[in-house]
Amino acid sequence: MIPQWRHIEGVSQVPQSLYLRTVAADSIKYFRDIRTLLRSLKIPAPRNPHFQIHRFEDAPDTQLNETMIFRSNTYVVALITEGEAYYKIGLHDYEMTAGSLYFLGPKHLRYYRREKKWRGFVCIFTDEFTTKSKLKNHYADYPFYRLDTSQKIQLDGEEQRQVEGLLNTLLSSFEQNKMDHCWHYLHILLSEADNLHQKMHQAAPASKESQLVVKFNELLEAHLYDIVSSQARHQYGVSDFAEKLAVNPNYLSQVLKQHTGETAGQLIRGRLITEAKSMLMSTEMSASQVAYALLYKDTSYFSKVFKSEVDATPREFQERYALK
């Protein structure tokens, strides 16, 4: 069953407050490498720790048809040539059909549900795959790996043949263990995708307030990613986000309240509690350990906030929902 909050790209946008509340209802798992990601999807371990490509149809029948919302420290470029699936990627929702070329990055929350058996290609890689290169482009520099833009390109027949050709060459190089070739063909593929993305997504500029909402959400998700991946030194408050966005904190909350129904503080608090719920549901961490991991300075304050949001203490929540 499709989640009731899902809205397909081109039909309507997911209201930001609805998006954040929906995410808050789910456990968000975090996979740090390709191996753990594929294992969670019930797909065999990768041949290379930093790069993997295979055809969808070659994956075993044990692969998941539907996932929970999750995050992974990996990049993905995938092409569906047959079949249908629904995806949540970052701040957007998509219907993927034949000719859909799409992208997933480390900062994206992800979810998919396969509707019809699919064919095509999926290529997964990590930052470490760039270490051989001195080129200026980093994977994160491509627009489709950012949070504030579309992660899907719908290809026409000629474009699909071109991309399929590159993916077939990439797959062949991988099967022959020619990893240097894989690296170069991957960058050619991403460069071609960049050109197609720019051509397809030249939309009229949004209002300043709408842009502010998008930028805030992008910063919030990026900050949560930095926290769960142990890259952040302290937990951002409203003033930190306002400073980065070069606006007054009161103005930021006013705009967010108008567009999402919640203030900046409420949105930040909700996302932090989402991460806390995920940790409590999927690990044996104590409330103090979760508070420390999420950079709360006061564990008693964390417990107080958690109970106000969830109507249960962290321990009560964990006892109720922890994996057996």
- pLDDT in 10s for each residue of the chain, 324 residues: 223 323 333 333 333 333 333 333 345 788 889 999 999 888 888 889 999 999 999 988 878 888 888 889 899 999 999 999 999 887 688 999 999 999 999 878 888 999 989 999 999 999 888 765 545 457 877 889 887 678 999 999 999 999 999 999 999 999 999 998 999 999 999 999 999 998 887 655 668 898 899 889 889 988 988 888 888 999 999 999 999 999 999 999 999 999 889 999 999 999 899 888 878 876 778 999 999 999 999 999 999 999 999 999 999 998 887 544
| CB contact at 8 A, 256 and 210 | no
**SS3 of residue 8 by DSSP:** coil
CA triple 292-37-216, angle to 5 deg: 55
CA–CA gap between residue 129 and residue 123 (Å, rounded): 12
- In total, the chain counts a number of residues equal to 324
Q: Which residues of 5-27 are buried (b: 16+ CB within 10 A; e: fewer)?
A: ebeebeeeebebbebbbbbbebb
Q: What is the pTM assigned to this prediction?
A: 0.69
Tokens representing 191? 């460069």
Tokens representing 205? 């500029």
Q: How far is CA 74 from CA 31, 38, 42, 107, 253, in A?
A: 8, 11, 17, 9, 32
Place of tokens 């480390």: 106
